[in-house]
Amino acid sequence: MDIDSAEPIPEGPEKVLADALEYLRDLPTAQAEVIALRVIVGMSAEEVGELAGQTPGAVRVMSHRALATLRDRLEGHMDPTAQSVPADVTSDTFQANNRTQ
């Protein structure tokens, strides 16, 4: 199935996912790669930095900016009564918290 010619998806979880993937594709390539490696693959900032020739700090900054962009673009899909994740929670914090559970 060709994603670009697919029928519009009605509002719901599938629509949010489709939009998130579209917004991910719209990010600058370096940011999209960092998000893919850090969030989807689960690599650390150090591992991504080693692959990309960047410092871990630069990878974290790129990750933060990319996630902020995605969060802003997806804001219209969020339930206004749902609790939001604090801005200072990073994917490192999320991954560390979920490893212990």
The tens digit of pLDDT for each residue in 1-56 reads 455 555 655 567 888 888 889 999 999 999 999 999 999 999 999 999 999 999 99
pTM over 0.85? The answer is no
Distance CA 57, CA 87 (A): 17
Q: Is the pLDDT of residue 59 over 60?
A: yes
The CATH number of 10-99 is which of 3.40.50.300, 1.10.10.10, 3.40.190.10, 3.30.450.40?
1.10.10.10
Q: Is the pLDDT of residue 61 over 80?
A: yes
pLDDT value at residue 76: 73
- Is 91 in contact with 44 (CB distance < 8 Å)? no
Distance CA 84, CA 58 (A): 25
- Where are the strands (E) in 39-100, listed by range? none
Q: Per-domain residue ranges for the chain? A: 10-99
pLDDT in tens, 68-88: 999 999 887 765 555 444 455
Q: What are phi and psi of 29, to 5 degrees?
A: -50, -45
